Chain A
Amino acid sequence: MTGNRPVDEGRRGFLMSSVAVAATLLAPGVTLYAMGGDAAAAATAPASAKVRWGLLIDAAQCKDGCAACIDACSSAHGWQSAGHPETDAQWVRKITATDPKTGAGFSAPVMCQHCANAPCVDVCPTGASFKRADGIVLVDRHICIGCRYCMMACPYKARSFVHEPVADQKPDAPRGKGTVEGCTLCASRIDAGGVPHCVEACKTAGHGAILFGDLNDPSSDIVKRIATYRSTRIRADLGCDAAVYYTNI
Chain B
Amino acid sequence: MIRGARIALLLALLIASQITLAVGEESKLVPHPPKGRGEQCVAATDFMRRNHMNLMKHQRDETVREGVRGKAFSLTGCVDCHAVNGADAKPVSYADSRHFCRSCHDYAAVSIDCFQCHASRPGSEKPHAAQGVGSTALAAVAAYFQGAANDRK
The answer to whether B125 and A172 have CB atoms under 8 Å apart is: yes
Q: Does A90 contact B (CB under 8 A)?
A: no
Contact in complex: B68, A138 (CB < 8 Å):
no
| B119 x A171 contact (CB < 8 A) | yes
Residue from B123, B132, B139 in contact with A172 in the complex, judged by beta carbons closer than 8 Å? B123
Across the interface, do B123 and A46 meet the contact criterion of CB distance under 8 Å? no
Whether B65 lies near A179 (C-beta < 8 A) is no
Question: Interface on B for A, CB 8 Å cutoff?
Answer: 39-44, 46-47, 60-62, 64-71, 76, 79, 93, 116-119, 121-123, 125, 128-129, 131-139, 141-143, 145-147, 150
Instruction: Evaluate whether A187 and B67 lie within 8 angstroms (CB atoms) in the complex, with A3-B150, A27-B145, A31-B44 already known.
Output: yes
With known contacts A15-B138, A177-B116, A46–B62 Cβ distance under 8 A? yes
A174-B132 contact in complex given A29-B46, A40-B70, C-beta closer than 8 Å? no
Specify which chain B residues have a CB less than 8 angstroms from the CB of A47 in the assembled complex. 66-67
Among all A-B residue pairs, the 9 with the closest Cβ atoms: A40-B70, A176-B117, A43-B70, A47-B67, A171-B123, A40-B132, A46-B66, A12-B139, A174-B117
Task: List chain B residues, Cβ under 8 A from A197.
Answer: none
B143, A11: Cβ atoms closer than 8 Å: yes
Tally of A-B Cβ pairs under 8 angstroms: 154
Tell yes or no: A122 within 8 A of B by CB.
no
| A46 near B46: Cβ-Cβ < 8 Å | no
Given the interface pairs A29-B47, A170-B119, A174-B118, the reply to whether A36 lies near B135 with Cβ below 8 Å is: yes
A134 to B65, CA, bound (A): 11
Give the residues in chain B near A24, CB-CB below 8 Å. 138, 142
Q: Would A37 and B131 count as touching, CB distance under 8 A?
A: yes
Sorting the interface of chain A by its residue count into under 10, 10 to 19, 20 to 34 or 35 or more gives 35 or more
State whether A40 touches B146 (Cβ < 8 A).
Answer: no
B58 to chain A, nearest CB (A): 9
Taken together as a complex, chains A and B put the C-alpha atoms of A24 and B143 apart, in Å, by: 13
Chain B minimum-CB-distance residue to A18: B135
Nearest CB in chain B: distance from A149 CB, A:
20
Excluding A36-B134, A132-B65, A142-B60, 14 further A-B contacts by CB distance (< 8 Å) are A1-B147, A4-B143, A7-B143, A33-B41, A38-B134, A42-B70, A43-B69, A44-B68, A166-B116, A168-B119, A169-B118, A171-B79, A171-B122, A176-B116
What residues of B have a CB within 8 angstroms of the CB of A134 in the complex? 67
A residues whose Cβ falls under 8 Å from a Cβ of B: 1, 3-4, 7-8, 11-12, 15-16, 18, 22, 24, 26-27, 29-47, 130, 132-134, 136, 138, 140-142, 166-172, 174-177, 179, 187-188, 190-192
User: What is the CB-to-nearest-CB distance from B62 to chain A, in angstroms, rounded to a whole number?
Assistant: 7
- The answer to whether A33 and B39 touch across the interface, beta carbons within 8 angstroms, is yes
9 example contacts (A-B, Cβ-Cβ < 8 A) are as follows A15-B142, A16-B135, A29-B47, A30-B43, A38-B134, A40-B71, A168-B93, A169-B119, A174-B117
Contact of B43 (CB < 8 Å), options: A33, A130, A174, A188: A33
CB of B64 within 8 A of CB of A40, answer: no
B108 CB, nearest partner CB in chain A, Å: 20
Distance in angstroms between the alpha carbons of A235 and B85 in the assembled complex = 51
Residues of B within 8 Å of A192, CB to CB, are: 69-70
Residue in B closest to A8 when the chains form the complex, CB atoms? B143
**A33→B67 contact, CB < 8 A:** no
Known A166-B117, A176-B116: A38·B67 in contact at CB below 8 Å = no
Residues of A within 8 A of B69 (CB): 40, 43-44, 188, 191-192
Most chain A Cβ neighbours within 10 Å, of B71, B93, B134, B141? B134
